[in-house]
Amino acid sequence: MAADAPGTVPVQLVEQPRLLKLKESFIAKFGSAPKFYVRAPGRVNLIGEHIDYCGYAVLPMAIEQDILIAVEPVKTEVVQLANINSSYLDFTTTVNNIQINKTKPQWHNYFLCGLKGIQEHFGLNNPTGMNCLLDGTIPPSSGLSSSSALVCCAGLVTLKANGKTLSKVELAEICTKSERYIGTEGGGMDQSISFLAEEGTAKLIEFSPLRATDVRLPSGAAFVIANSCVEMNKAATSHYNIRVMECRLATKLLSKSKSLDWKKMLRLQDVQASLGVSLEEMLTIVEEVLHPEPYSTEEICKCLGISLEELRSQILSQNTQNGRALLTLCCTYKNRLSCVCTQQRFHGKLQSSERVVLCPISPLHEGVQNSQREKKVWIKS
């Protein structure tokens, strides 16, 4: 068994009404009983908004809301997916023909991401077919990572059904990569906290290598997470990936200006580490190298010495390749660096038990779209 593998807990269904109801629904759907159940929680990020894909540490914690899947491995090559919520349609496919439609981020595609990630990691030639019934309590498209929880749950389902083992860290890294099959260029926070979370503590998640440190919360602390009920599916639009690509392009421009190997550089933290400078010094470099006015794709190509086709095929994500968008590289980068500084100060306040009132809003969605993200208030009485 892999070190630090996800735990397995025997349960009495009569003591677990939700599991018992899921089992009954499974039997009604498939005519047989599930063999095991897999759970992955959602998350809320306390501080460090949109800096994980820049390589910087974040401070999330898991929430009680989760994705729960009842599973029965079968001897065929068919995967049948069903959902307790009837608004999500059934889906059937074969395990050797995984097709993920990036243009239509439907619920089953997230399951297929986790399935494909484990399948490819182990090079499974004859993976096990499965009947799966899902029950989710995370509000969809609300900024609480319902999609990543589903990817993680699917990865763990596939792992268990095929008799394989991995550590939690390995699972988190695989599921981070496999969620990109749907087109979202995430940084890994959501998948990491889903696997590495522990009751009663937040986690300082750091990358390269992935590691998690307990951040004990002061006694008497209460977290209030308010859902605006306005949905924002980040895989359905290019809003999220545009910000990721802005940071990636700025990384390459900064790298080239400092005679680094810009073609290999993807994240702001990589540039900072290569230069051996502080965050404050990095801010100065950003202001010196990048102009505050938006960049056109033509200007970026000229600065990097590449063609527009090379920019689109080698750097940009699929849903950011079209058009000639003006990219606010300097402002976006400075925003991310400011978020890193704020996250570090907040972490210090938590450790010292100082009073904090926090109500951050993701910098990703500006203007009216700010109302589409969850709001968080941390109150210490």
Single-letter code of the amino acid located at 79: V
Please give the helix or strand (H or E) that residue 331 lies within, else none.
helix 329-352
Sign of CA dihedral 180, 272, 172, 239: negative
Number of other CB atoms surrounding residue 161 within 10 Å: 24
SS3 6: coil
- Residue entry with tokens 């399948």: 119
**Distance in angstroms (rounded) separating the CA atoms of residues 65 and 137:** 5
**Distance in angstroms (rounded) separating the CA atoms of residues 207 and 184:** 18
**Distance in angstroms (rounded) separating the CA atoms of residues 147 and 100:** 14
Question: Residue 104 gets which letter from DSSP?
Answer: S
> What are the two backbone dihedrals, phi and then psi, of residue 67, each rounded to the nearest 5 degrees?
-110, 130
Cβ proximity of 146 and 136 under 8 Å? yes
- Cβ neighbours of residue 339 under 8 Å, at least 6 residues apart? 48, 49, 50, 51, 56, 363
> What are the two backbone dihedrals, phi and then psi, of residue 360, each rounded to the nearest 5 degrees?
-80, 150
Cβ proximity of 59 and 203 under 8 Å? yes
Question: Residue 217 gets which letter from DSSP?
Answer: P
Q: Is 4 a catalytic residue?
A: no
Cβ proximity of 4 and 169 under 8 Å? yes
Of residues 66, 190, 261, 270, which has the active-site annotation? Answer: 190
Q: Which residues are catalytic?
A: 190
